[in-house]
Amino acid sequence: MADTPELSGPDLEQGIPEGDLADGAMLGGHARGKPVLLARRGGEVFAVGAQCTHYGGPLAEGLFVGHTVRCPWHHACFDVRTGEATCAPALNPLARWTVARRDGKLVVTEEHEAPDGATPLGTPAAPEPAVRSIVVVGAGAAGEAAVEMLRRRGFDGTLTFVGADPSDPVDRPNLSKDYLAGNAPEEWIPLRDEAFYAAHRVDLVRGRRATSVDAAARAVVLDDGRRLTYDRLLIATGAEPVRLPLPGGDLPHVRYLRTLADSRAIIAAAEHAKRALVMGASFIGLEVAASLRTRGLEVHVVAPDARPLERVLGPEVGDWVRALHESHGVTFHLGRTATRVEPTRVALDDGATVDADLVVIGVGVRPALALAESAGAAIDKGVTVNEYLETTVPNVYAAGDIARYPDARTGERVRVEHWVVAERLGQTAARNMLGARERFADVPFFWSAHYDRVINYVGHAERWDAVEVNGDLAAGDATVAYRLGGRVLAVATVGRDRAALEADEAMARGDDAALERAIR
Ligand SMILES: Cc1cc2nc3c(=O)[nH]c(=O)nc-3n(C[C@H](O)[C@H](O)[C@H](O)COP(=O)(O)OP(=O)(O)OC[C@H]3O[C@@H](n4cnc5c(N)ncnc54)[C@H](O)[C@@H]3O)c2cc1C
Ligand code: FES
């Protein structure tokens, strides 16, 4: 998805002195007009593509841990030995290059092009023989990542992928960002196309809703009456926007945003609208505000909170985000709620009215639990799953926004609404459906983009008693730590991708000293 990369660093076809690459070090260069990353671990030297296959992040600026290189932008992981994208959000592997040793130099020679993310690399794990048929319900982040991982790990049986949306699975985070702002072409949005599913024998059932699960018969029932039997079932039905029961809330210029169709409808409306009112100062609400400003609309944000994003990111970041949006011309009406929508204006609870010919409501989402409930799965503010992502119903797994899983760091059950977590839950569930018995232990991560600023967030802090800002938020260069009883539970960064990555690694290892270093 990135533009043609600018080449930097040494020409690796000419080679570099062996001594220039220390054990554990990475170096970015190029060969045959392509960016290439060299990495050394012990006596072995590896060369892979230097651009992340997610959005093209510069891997040389990431972290190299064991045999894994991690992308500084959204924390994807790649194994430098095989190129495999071992953890989302990247799905496709990196190309590998041959490295030769010549006259004391490391020289990059031949390129081995990468296959797609559903193709097994090396010897895939042998799937459990009892598993011949898998159904995945929910063609979103978790479902898509799961389907690909099933094939990548060598599952050869019947694979049915059911999605209520008429479109192929999409890059949902982009729907409120560059795509909505008009800076990303439509072809960036689908995660995969028809040919991909055909090549991997995935039966993608588009535009159909699974209505119930007959767990005793191990069958999923679709809204056209079809029954799909399974040996293993993954439920990944995601979340749905909370709808406000507002007078005038069903007028045609009132929009919600979850699907590609929703984003297209907002874009179509924005082409004729002059003033937009966004209800909700959530991540999605604010990203919509930024995108509509980029399109030149006047934008008002109405929210009951005292500050945007304060509940998740605290007052300091909230004030900064507000100032950032105001500097781009957004007008906030905080501490206010809308009471009525009319065709050309919205009434607020203080009696004021705001003119608006486009209204976007982003006041949170609710997990889509009905299907899991019909299976008889235990529900507690989400679908209860264990560390292997099994629900309480045999052979039924859950992943993504619906899953409430035990957080490896705190032991508390959490349910998070993050793209990367959803994909990784899907990937882990897939391996476990094939018999891996792998605990889900990833540190939660999300990002959010506002104009040219990106907030990265690692960890999970539902509450905290201290917020510590290091650096300068206004200058777009800061680390913010959220502590409870002195312990860092989560870290947000602006303009410090590397610190976010180091904090992620430190949390994953349970290394509190390294975590303290990362936030300085
Ligand atoms: C506009 C937008 C921007 C976002 N930006 C970010 C971001 O920047 N960073 C971040 O970390 N997160 C972001 N998120 C959140 C992220 O997209 C979600 O956490 C993630 O998509 C959850 O994945 P999922 O697979 O659980 O659900 P989804 O991706 O929502 O997929 C669930 C799918 O299941 C389908 N479905 C539901 N019920 C049924 C049924 N009964 N039968 C068949 N199909 C069904 C739905 O149609 C849907 O396609 C954003 C979300 C939105 C809407
Ligand atoms: S660009 Fe590398 S993870 Fe997104």
For the sheet with 466-472, list strands across it. 445-450, 453-459, 487-494, 477-484, 466-472
Please work out, in degrees rounded to the nearest 5, the angle formed at the alpha carbon of residue 498 by the alpha carbons of 495 and 500: 80
How many other C-beta atoms can be found within 10 angstroms of the C-beta atom of residue 170? 23
Bridge partners of 124, per DSSP, are none
- Count CA within 13 A, CB hemisphere, residue 28: 20
Ligand 2 closest atom vs CA 75: 3
CB of 284 closer than 6 angstroms to any ligand 1 atom: yes
Does residue 420 carry a pLDDT above 90? Answer: yes
- CA–CA separation, 108 vs 93, rounded Å? 19
Identify the weakest region by mean pLDDT among 114-118, 247-251, 298-302, 480-484: 114-118
pLDDT at 5 over 80: no
By the 10 Å C-beta count (0-12 exposed, 13-18 middle, 19+ buried), 487 is classed as middle
Q: How far is the CA of 58 from the centre of ligand 2 (A)?
A: 8
Considering only CA atoms, which residue is closest to atom 7 of ligand 1?
173
- Ligand with minimal distance to 211 CA: 1
Residues with CB under 6 A from ligand 2: 52, 54-57, 71, 73-76, 89-90
Nearest ligand, CA 449: 1
Q: Is 219 exposed, middle or buried (0-12, 13-18, 19+ CB in 10 A)?
A: middle
CA of 379 to the centre of ligand 1 (A): 19
Which ligand 2 atom is the nearest neighbour of the CA of 56?
A: 1
Does residue 249 carry a pLDDT above 90? yes
H or E element in which residue 124 lies: none
**CA 427/CA 150 separation, integer angstroms:** 8
Among 428, 394, 395, CA closest to 133? 395
340-347 own/partner pairs: CB under 8 Å, 24+ apart: 340/246, 340/247, 340/248, 341/246, 341/247, 341/248, 341/249, 341/251, 341/254, 342/248, 342/251, 343/251, 343/253, 346/277, 346/302
The predicted pLDDT at position 149 comes to 97
From the CA of 74, give the closest atom in ligand 2. 3
Rounded to whole angstroms, how far apart are CA atoms 441 and 438? 9
Position 458: which residue type? V
CA 403 to mean position of chain CA atoms: 15
**Distance, CA of 171 to CA of 169 (rounded, Å):** 7
Q: Is the pLDDT of residue 69 over 90?
A: yes
Q: Residue for token digits 């976007």?
A: 360
**Residue 4: pLDDT over 70:** no
Q: Is the CB of 206 under 6 A from ligand 1?
A: no
**Residue 63, CB half-sphere, CA atoms under 13 Å: how many?**
20
Q: What is the mean pLDDT of residues 124-128?
A: 82
Ligand 2 atom at shortest distance from the alpha carbon of 52? 2
Residue 169 CA, closest ligand 1 atom number: 49
Q: What does the alpha-carbon distance between residue 339 and residue 347 come to, in Å, rounded to a whole number?
A: 6
Instruction: Report the pLDDT averaged over residues 66-87.
Output: 97
> What's the mean pLDDT in 273-293?
97
- pLDDT of 1 above 80: no
DSSP secondary structure letters along 329-377 = T-EEEET--EEEE-SSEEEETTS-EEE-SEEEE---EEE--HHHHHTT-
| Mean local confidence (pLDDT), 121-150 | 93
Task: For residue 464, give the H/E element and its range.
Answer: none
> What ligand has the least distance to the C-alpha of 445?
1
Q: Return mean pLDDT, the chain.
A: 96
User: How many A from CA of 422 to the centre of ligand 1?
Assistant: 8
Ligand 1 pocket check: which of 189, 211, 221, 419 to mutate, most ligand atoms within 8 Å of Cβ?
419
Q: Nearest 5°: phi and psi at 194?
A: -55, -40
Please state whether beta strands 331-334 and 298-303 pair in parallel, antiparallel, or not at all (unpaired). parallel
Average pLDDT of the residues in 128-132:
92
Which residue's alpha carbon is nearest to atom 11 within ligand 1? 418
Ligand number, closest to the Cα atom of 210: 1
Handedness of CA 47, 75, 196, 227 (dihedral sign): positive
Q: Read off φ and ψ for residue 14, nearest 5 degrees.
A: -80, -25
Q: pLDDT confidence of 455, banded at 50, 70, 90?
A: very high
What pLDDT does residue 124 have? 79
pLDDT band (50, 70, 90) for residue 2: very low
Q: Residue whose CA is closest, atom 4 of ligand 2?
A: 74
* 93-120 pLDDT tens trace: 999 999 999 999 999 999 999 999 999 9
For the stretch 334-364, pLDDT in tens is: 999 999 999 999 999 999 999 999 999 999 9
Best CA proximity match to 463, nearest among 447, 480, 484: 484
Could you identify the atom of ligand 1 that is nearest to the CA of residue 172? 17
Output the CA 450–ligand 2 centroid distance in Å.
17
Q: What is the DSSP string of 224-247?
A: TS-EEE-SEEEE---EEEPPP--T
Q: Is 72 in the pocket of ligand 1 (CB under 6 A)?
A: no
SS percent in the chain: helix, strand, coil, step 5: 25, 35, 45
The closest alpha carbon to 423, from 143, 175, 69, 153, belongs to 143
What is the pTM (predicted TM-score) of this model? Answer: 0.97
Compute the distance between CA of residue 84 and CA of residue 95 in angstroms, rounded to an integer: 9
DSSP 253-285: TEE--SSHHHHHHHHHHHTT-SEEEEE--SHHH
Is the model's pLDDT at 13 over the cut of 70? yes
Residue 497 has pLDDT above 70, yes or no: yes
Q: What is the pLDDT of residues 41-56, one digit of tens each?
A: 999 999 999 999 999 9
Ligand nearest to the CA of 504: 2
Residue identifier of the C-alpha nearest atom 37 of ligand 1: 237
Check whether the bond before 89 is cis (ω within 30° of 0): yes
- Residue 122 confidence class, pLDDT cut points 50, 70, 90: confident
Q: How far is the CA of 239 from the centre of ligand 1 (A)?
A: 6
| Strand 158-163 relative to strand 105-112, pairing | unpaired
* 61: CB partners within 8 A, 6+ apart: 28, 72, 497, 498
Q: What residues does 205 pair with on adjacent strands?
A: 162
Alpha-carbon distances, residue 217 vs 212, 221, 364, 395 (angstroms)? 12, 11, 36, 12
What values do phi and psi take at 181, rounded to 5? -75, -15
* Cα–Cα distance for residue pair 72/70, rounded to 1 Å: 6
